[in-house]
Chains A and B, each alone.
Chain A
Amino acid sequence: MTRYITHRLLLLPLLLLVYSFVIFVIIQAPPGDFLTSYVATLSASGTSISAEQIQALRHQYGLDQPFVVQYLYWLRELLHGNFGLSLEYRRPNADLIGEQLGLTVALAVMSFVLTWIIAVPAGIYSATHQRSVVDHVLTVINYIGVATPNFMLALILMWIAFAYFGISITGLYSPEYTDAPWSMAKFVNLLEHIWLPALVIGIAGTARLTRIMRANLLDELNKPYVVTARAKGLREWRLVLRYPARLALNPLVSTIGWYLPQLFSGSLIVATVMNLPNIGPLLLRALINQDMYLAGAILLIYSFLTIVGTLLSDIALAMMDPRIRMGM
């Protein structure tokens, strides 16, 4: 086991290196660069800028160097822990990301917890009470949940809240708290607001997870070891939880790894719609404006989280399933 983990950990930097190159290529792929769109924005607002100034800026930002040189420069800075400056905001990327990171993580964690707390029991109930009224209702909700893009849900909820109740549920805080320093009251206010975006983000995931849990459990319930357990005289709900549910959970655990990056990107769209301070919209702007160091840094963090997430879920799976742990 430990050998397996060390093996994966050793691969980590190598993978990150490969990713960094791929990311850089993708960011630089659009023709032009940051200055092109910057100049376009300037001219749209009526300011003009001379050709020499553009050239000087280009040289200052190192944008006139060949592609590989720019990449190596970026790589070198990264290895020194320097995430670079955002071309657009003129601030260190580390600061920009850091500000949004906390809330992004909070939102992601809340969604994750909500999803699993709802989905697993719902799936178990659905499978053990197949074709009951509750099962049918849950199935309908699940199907619709999977079919609804989460930004649609966000839009609908926001509209209902606004049109019928006159409240605006965008943002994570009520207006008076937005720029206020941290306090207990602000924290409470955050909690009041955060559950809704967390729910919206989580709903599609919850629906999908419930369906998978239900299907897995239905498969397991037909297996011989369930008969053995019943023949031993165990109570039904106890044996369901202890044996088939436990096994049905395994495939789900192996997908936990995908959650980490997905929650960040799933929240991206919702965050944009609901105007939440989140890394997602930051990335979006950076990509559109070709603010390459910022976009690169964020994408690299995403990739890092993916690799770590996959590793964590593999470890979790190995812990839960002795067949994998002992290398069957």
Chain B
Amino acid sequence: MPLTHTATEPLLSVRGLHVAFRMDEGTVHAVDGVSFDVHPGQVVGIVGESGCGKSVTTRAVLQLIDPPGRIAGGEILYRQGDAFIDLARQSPRSRLMRDLRGADIALIPQEPMAAFSPVHTVGAQIVEALMLHERLSRNAARDRTVELFRDVGISMAETRIDAYSWQLSGGLRQRAMIAMALSCKPRLLIADEPTTAIDVTTQAQILALLRDLKQKYQTAIIFITHDLGVIAQMANFVVVMYLGRVMEEGPVDDIFHAPKHPYTKALLRSIPSLQTEARTVLPAISGTLPHPFNRPSGCPFHPRCTDMVPGRCTTLVPALRALGPRQAVSCFLHGSEAEPA
């Protein structure tokens, strides 16, 4: 069934988000001006190296940033009916946020191993969410949980809901996590590296499952990963991040077949392929990720960029510039304006 693209109104619109962590050694700008849109039923993949701010961005959407971090600027516009509310302005403990979490926007956190409480059964934890948001009775919630388990492909669902998370294998645990996230039929699902900790075969199954569920429930998904192969399979729209900034974003085909930003190009080049000749050097990105307190001046990528322009790239920060209806890049080589200091 084709996707119903309701106009061009996005479900979630992140504009210029800034998240800073005030530590004893200094302030870390984990997210330094990130903007992207998520449309209903669409999968947005956020890709980047560890520490580039992908998770923090999505945590900010749910106002789950713990001190010493705080949202230092920007807007997170979420569409409810015809109006948008700015989630960045909400208090983390407010009624509004609590009603949204789990019911409208759900999270599949990064470590399924530790994401369930070890002393409560997985079923009990899902029943809790159902009773809270869907106002079901305990029995009705239990039945619904069994259904959910079947939906996500967990066999022997009736017995499995009374299992503890550590009694389940990695794949089953991840499925249970997905069941919990989808239990209250959220409009937006944030999947934080859902396939990083599991083996490739299970990974393929989980990805297929997510695609099916997306189709069935018309949920939009923000998919975070550092694996470009997964992005290619799952995403409609890709956001490439580095050191807390968006380097490039656009429809998946454009990103993969016509990348603009040097970082995107370097990432795509560095994927090992069976097609390359034997005994060629694996093209890696030169240099290392800078220390968070040691951010480079100017464009954050310039120390590792092969096409860097000395003088411009070392001193000025490129802003995100639209190159098409949905593609944007922040690079001086592609016409970005310098950001005001």
Cβ of B166 under 8 Å from chain A? yes
Count of interface residues, chain A, beta-carbon cutoff 8 Å: 23
Cβ of B161 under 8 Å from chain A? no
Query: What's the dominant secondary structure at chain A's contact region?
Result: helix
Complexed CA–CA distance, A233 and B131 (Å): 11
Cβ of B106 under 8 Å from chain A? yes
Cβ of A232 under 8 Å from chain B? yes
Query: What's the dominant secondary structure at chain B's contact region?
Result: mixed
Within 8 A of B (CB), among A270-328: 320-323, 326, 328
Contacting pair A232 B102 (CB below 8 A): yes
Contacting pair B129 A243 (CB below 8 A): no
Contacting pair A233 B119 (CB below 8 A): no
Within 8 A of B (CB), among A200-243: 223-225, 227-236, 243
Question: Known contacts being A224-B114, A247-B118, A322-B164, is A231 close to B62, with CB within 8 Å?
Answer: yes
Binds A, one of B10-18, B44-52, B92-100, B333-341: B92-100
Cβ of A246 under 8 Å from chain B? yes
For chains A and B in complex, what number of residue pairs have CB atoms within 8 angstroms?
72
Contacting pair B119 A228 (CB below 8 A): no
Contacts of B98 in A (CB 8 A): 233-235
Contacting pair A243 B164 (CB below 8 A): no
Contacting pair B107 A323 (CB below 8 A): no
Contacts of A236 in B (CB 8 A): 93
The 8 A CB mask of B108-134 against A (1 = contact, 0 = none) is 011100111111100001001100110
Between B102, B106, B110, the greatest number of chain A beta carbons within 10 A of the residue's beta carbon is seen for B102
Contacting pair B133 A228 (CB below 8 A): no
Question: Known contacts being A233-B98, A233-B99, A234-B128, is A243 close to B106, with CB within 8 Å?
Answer: no
Within 8 A of A (CB), among B25-57: none
Contacts of A328 in B (CB 8 A): 166
Cβ of B103 under 8 Å from chain A? yes
Closest to A235 in B: B98
Complexed CA–CA distance, A323 and B116 (Å): 13
Question: Known contacts being A223-B114, A225-B117, is A232 close to B62, with CB within 8 Å?
Answer: no
Closest to A225 in B: B117
Contacting pair A230 B128 (CB below 8 A): no
* CB pairs A–B below 8 angstroms (10 shown): A227-B107, A231-B62, A231-B102, A231-B107, A231-B109, A232-B180, A234-B132, A246-B117, A247-B119, A326-B167
Q: A228-B116, A232-B180, A233-B102 are in contact. List 9 more A-B contacts (CB 8 A).
A: A224-B114, A224-B115, A229-B117, A230-B101, A231-B64, A231-B107, A243-B120, A323-B166, A328-B166
